[in-house]
């Protein structure tokens, strides 16, 4: 069923209120907050890679506080086991049967803090649940419910004792972004409020988790014209044929961009996707899925450069998209 203008207005108003609520804790980072909210409403996950002390954990906790769902925090360390994330089956002597004890991954918003400090085996415990929303333990599937979102953080400057995320896991993050340092005025405002050590606690719930699930379903109904999807497909193909790319964007990445563009459009009170939506999200959704050629990486080429070249090389459609 096509999305009505009334539904589009309701969706956009809810997104604006959610972003404004998060702005209380994360000052001066409206664009990054919008990306994180878009990811949640796409049913996707976010990887925040930034230098220490820029508010990655505060953003994740503030988002969890904004919705009336459950939240959990997992501090990833080298000795963390997969069962510490997913849960474990334990024999219950009182009833003579094995009983599943859910791990911290069973929450609406899961903060995977410093995810690259855990071993690849533990990191892989998130692969199934991030893709399918299900944890399988001893052959039994356990759904985590909707909404479900993983917000993972990692520091790029602290590499001692860390493990790079496998390409397969990077591909499961809808968005990779960073907060960066605040501007001068925002820094002054933070310093004036330096006694406040719990900015995320000031963020109160303003929307129910069940409403988030309804918003995810509504965004899936946004119209996508074949010409716009052809445009997206050509951009993805360009990343695969770029001479500086050892591996381009997967079909999972293309699908992720299509879904995110629907949320982006609906947040702008539109019931249809335009090429502008694709362009706005291309770098944060696609760049982290590209593996650079080692020689190109040595010369300073970035994955974002490859996506930007693809955008410049592919002309947007001129046919009607609505």
Using the CB atoms, write b or e for 123-142: b if 16+ within 10 Å: bebbeebbeeeebebeeeeb
Tens digits of residue pLDDT in 43-81: 999 998 877 776 777 888 888 888 877 888 899 888 999
CB 311 within 8 A of CB 276: no
Residue 146: CB atoms within 10 A of its CB come to 17
The model's pTM is 0.88
Distance CA 156, CA 267 (A): 31
Res. 208: pLDDT tops 90: no
Res. 35: pLDDT tops 90: yes
Res. 321: pLDDT tops 60: no
Q: Phi and psi at residue 184, in whole multiples of 5°? A: -65, -45
CB 59 within 8 A of CB 34: no
Res. 11: pLDDT tops 90: yes
Note the pLDDT of residue 197. Answer: 64
pLDDT category at 160 given cuts 50, 70, 90 is low
Any idea which residue has 């094995």 for tokens? Answer: 98
CB 65 within 8 A of CB 200: yes
Note the pLDDT of residue 124. Answer: 85
Res. 100: pLDDT tops 50: yes
CB 250 within 8 A of CB 244: no
Please indicate whether residue 189 or residue 260 has the higher confidence score (pLDDT). Answer: 260
Span 111-137, average pLDDT: 87
What 3 state SS string does 19-62 have?
HHHHHCCCCCCHHHHHHHHHHHHHCCCEEEECCCCCCHHHHHHH
147: cis peptide before it, omega within 30°?
yes
Residue 204: CB atoms within 10 A of its CB come to 10
pLDDT category at 194 given cuts 50, 70, 90 is low
Q: How far is CA 225 from the centre of its chain?
A: 25
Beta-carbon contacts of 15 under 8 Å, excluding residues fewer than 6 positions away, are 34, 37, 41, 267
Res. 22: pLDDT tops 90: no
Res. 161: pLDDT tops 70: no
Beta-carbon contacts of 129 under 8 Å, excluding residues fewer than 6 positions away, are 86, 105, 135, 144, 148, 150
Note the pLDDT of residue 36. Answer: 93
CA-to-CA separations, 71 to 108, 217, 254, in angstroms, rounded: 6, 21, 29
- Quick one: which of 147, 148, 154 has its CA closest to 56? 154
Q: At what angle do helices 5-23 and 30-42 cross, to 10 degrees?
A: 130
Q: What is the DSSP string of 241-299?
A: H-TTEEE---HHHHHHHHHHHHHHHHHTT-SB--HHHHHHHHHHHHGGGPEEPHHHHHT
Please indicate whether residue 71 or residue 158 has the higher confidence score (pLDDT). Answer: 71
Tens digits of residue pLDDT in 251-287: 999 999 999 999 999 999 999 999 999 999 999 999 9
Residue 153: CB atoms within 10 A of its CB come to 22
């Amino acid at each position: 069923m096509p999305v009505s203008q009334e539904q589009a207005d309701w969706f956009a108003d809810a997104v604006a209120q959610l972003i404004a609520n998060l702005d209380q804790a994360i000052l001066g980072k409206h664009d990054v907050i919008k990306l994180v909210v878009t990811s949640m409403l796409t049913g996707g996950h976010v990887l925040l890679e930034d230098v220490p002390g820029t508010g990655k954990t505060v953003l994740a906790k503030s988002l969890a506080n904004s919705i009336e769902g459950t939240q959990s925090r997992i501090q990833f360390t080298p000795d963390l086991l997969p069962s510490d994330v997913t849960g474990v089956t334990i024999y219950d002597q009182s009833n003579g049967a094995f009983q599943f004890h859910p791990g911290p991954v069973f929450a609406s918003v899961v903060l995977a803090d410093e995810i690259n400090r855990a071993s690849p085996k533990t990191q892989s415990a998130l692969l199934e649940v991030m893709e399918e929303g299900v944890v399988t333990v001893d052959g039994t599937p356990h759904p985590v419910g909707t909404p479900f979102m993983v917000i993972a953080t990692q520091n790029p400057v602290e590499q001692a004792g860390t493990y790079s995320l496998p390409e397969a896991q990077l591909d499961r993050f809808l968005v990779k972004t960073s907060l960066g340092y605040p501007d001068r005025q925002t820094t002054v405002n933070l310093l004036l409020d330096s006694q406040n050590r719990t900015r995320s606690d000031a963020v109160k719930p303003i929307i129910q988790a069940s409403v988030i699930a309804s918003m995810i379903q509504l965004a899936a109904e946004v119209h996508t014209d074949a010409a716009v999807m052809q445009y997206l497909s050509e951009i993805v193909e360009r990343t695969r044929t770029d001479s500086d790319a050892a591996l381009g964007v997967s079909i999972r990445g293309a699908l992720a961009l299509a879904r995110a563009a629907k949320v982006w459009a609906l947040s702008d009170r539109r019931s249809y996707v335009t090429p502008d939506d694709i362009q706005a999200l291309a770098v944060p959704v696609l760049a982290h899925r590209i593996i650079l050629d080692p020689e190109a990486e040595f010369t300073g080429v970035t994955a974002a450069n490859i996506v930007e070249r693809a955008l410049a090389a592919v002309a947007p459609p001129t046919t009607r998209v609505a």
